Amino acid sequence: MENLQTLIQSSTPLLIDCFAVWCGPCKMVPPILKEVKEKLGDRIRIVKIDVDKNPQLSAQWQISSIPTLLLFKEGKLLWRQSGVVPAHQLVPLLQQHL
């Protein structure tokens, strides 16, 4: 697996799911991301990051609530949102950046 910095710098958009094992709403996100991946395929990469295991990233990205989704492309943060975003809202939003 490529390192995270390489994925963030890539021209392929990278959606990062910031979650924690103990977070209830976070458990709703994987099926949504599965649907997103099915619709968008190789045009997007999706990575999950456990905020408890990666406190430096949480601090760097100022993650104050989870789940938080971050969208990077070519090193730039294009979009972020905390909370659960339904797939029917997330797909068109992501398509704007593909």
Distance (Å, rounded) from C-alpha 47 to C-alpha 25? 17
Cβ neighbors of 68 (< 8 A, separation 6 or more) are 18, 61, 80, 81, 82
The residues annotated with a catalytic role in the active site are 23, 26
Encoding tokens for residue 86? 């339904």
